[in-house]
Amino acid sequence: MILTRTITALVMAIVLGVVLFKAETLGWVGFILLGTFWAAWEWVGFTSLKSKVARFFLAFIFSVLVYFSYLYLNDFLIFVLAPFSILMMLFSVFLFQRRRGEHLVRSDGVILLFGLVALVPFFISLMLFREVFSPALLLLCFFVIWAVDVGAFFSGKRFGKHKLAVYVSPGKTWEGVVGGVVVAFMVSYIGLFLLKPYMTFTIWQSALLLCLIGALSVYGDLFESVLKRQANIKDSGALLPGHGGLLDRVDSLMIAMPVFYIFWLWVS
């Protein structure tokens, strides 16, 4: 299992690196649209819809909506939907925890609406970030989120005592979150020091804000866990051997990436 996860992770890293730094704009947009389609396909799996035709149609509609929003609305939907996305994820996790794991949403329509609010600003921000800023800055944002994840895992395993949301994800602890934020701060500072992007803030201030935005990623992960528990499934899919589905890999990114995009517009 560990070997499978490692090989899959290496392949994903190579593919992402090549497309991120070598592809033309059209190639990058196509790559993200492919991810949009697959993520939407998996999201429909959180509902009671079993028809593959219906899943394909809805995933296609999601992808078209993202593409035309990218072309004609630019970053408008990021500013409009990102705050709702954050509130939706935070409130859903809080309510699911408060209800001690009882079903939060039973309506397929609401689950699909949640997908719209979560996925649209996320994928548009990925398309625009590389174009507006740079592949290196986008990679730094990825590293910040991954640092939160890795730091939370090891610090939670070593020091974790106080559960973050036991009915959603029993393994996550507050100590883990603190450890993840500390590691993310170090990664942010080193990355900013090496890249030296133009900023109106100091490196210390920007690194602090980046790691705090990265901390939101914990709730992206928890939010997807809520949906999976409601659907009674372990993974969102089986696209990535040893890792599960695409949503299982990008759930942490969903909530944070639109905020990263807004942050860099603000400080640049």
Cβ-based burial of 178 (10 A; exposed 0-12, middle 13-18, buried ≥19): middle
Give the Å distances, CA to CA, from 163 to 36, 96, 208: 32, 15, 24
Q: Could you state, in order of their start, the residue ranges of all structural domains in the chain? A: 2-267
Tens of pLDDT, residues 107-136: 899 999 999 999 999 999 999 999 999 999
Query: What is the per-residue pLDDT for 223?
Result: 95
Provide, rounded to the nearest whole percent, the portion of the chain with pLDDT above 70.
99
- Global pTM? 0.94
Tens of pLDDT, residues 215-235: 999 999 999 999 999 888 888
Distance of CA 127 to the CA centre of its chain: 14
Tens of pLDDT, residues 18-35: 999 999 999 999 999 999
Query: What is the per-residue pLDDT for 123?
Result: 97
The tokens describing 151, both together, are: 């730091």
